[in-house]
Amino acid sequence: MRLFYAIFLPEEVKRVLVEAQERVARYKGWKEVVPHHLHLTLLFLGERPEEDLEDLLALGHRMGRLHPPFTARIRGTGYFPNEGTPRVWFAKAEGEGFLPLAEGLREGVREILGEEALLAGGNKPFKPHITLARRKAPAPRVPPVVFGVEWPVKEFALVRSELKPKGPVYTILGKFPLRGDHGREQEESARKRSQDH
């Protein structure tokens, strides 16, 4: 199973991003991400055996209990790579909860599945972004787009991606509400109870 942890976007945010995608739609070389696939990847796991699924779902729930909801913002657009011929056009996301959540998932996967489980995502530093389009053939860069969009991030998901000829098919395998300090207190009291027995 090809898996990743991700944050999906509310409809009003998607609408703004779809409007921006019209800037590349006129160029055949760019292929826009379909609206229901717009997301922010927290951690890409690549191909994982089915027996890892239970641990990955449990990790998602644990991280949800430990991390509070937060406000995310989209400010502008950029390219990967920034220099030379771009492969990806993306929207830059900001929010104080992105990095702690992504790092928590990364550390949790390392603990339960080992370092090799992280190889699929590479060692690039985490940069919160939403892919808007991928370059499939020669196509020009489009001018930057500036957004003023924000939304509350209240949950994240574990997603399976199946690669099909017409594009990937995403299936959400689990959703994890962000409960923050309330969840942390519950976890600590549960740990204390288990130590007392």
Judged against a pLDDT cut of 90, whether residue 28 lies above it is answered with: no
Peptide linkage before 81 cis (omega within 30 of 0): yes
What is this structure's pTM?
0.88
Q: Are 40 and 102 in contact (CB under 8 A)?
A: no
**How far apart, in whole angstroms, are the C-alpha atoms of residue 26 and residue 37?**
20
Tell me the CA distances in angstroms from 189 to 136, 183, 196, one per residue in order. Answer: 52, 10, 10
Q: Which residues are catalytic?
A: 39, 129
The bridge status of strand 2-8 relative to strand 155-164 is: antiparallel
Residue 28: CB atoms within 10 Å: 11
pLDDT of residue 195: 61
**How far apart, in whole angstroms, are the C-alpha atoms of residue 192 and residue 186?**
10
Entry field: residues in the chain: 197
Taking each continuous run of H as one helix and of E as one strand, the counts in the chain are 4, 9
pLDDT of residue 84: 85
**How far apart, in whole angstroms, are the C-alpha atoms of residue 185 and residue 193?**
12
**How far apart, in whole angstroms, are the C-alpha atoms of residue 172 and residue 161?**
9
**How far apart, in whole angstroms, are the C-alpha atoms of residue 73 and residue 152?**
9
How do residues 72-113 score in pLDDT, each as one tens digit? Answer: 999 999 999 988 889 999 999 999 999 999 999 999 999 999
Task: Label residue 123 by pLDDT band (50, 70, 90).
Answer: confident
Q: What is the mean pLDDT of residues 135-159?
A: 94
Q: What is the token pair recorded at 126?
A: 């985490």
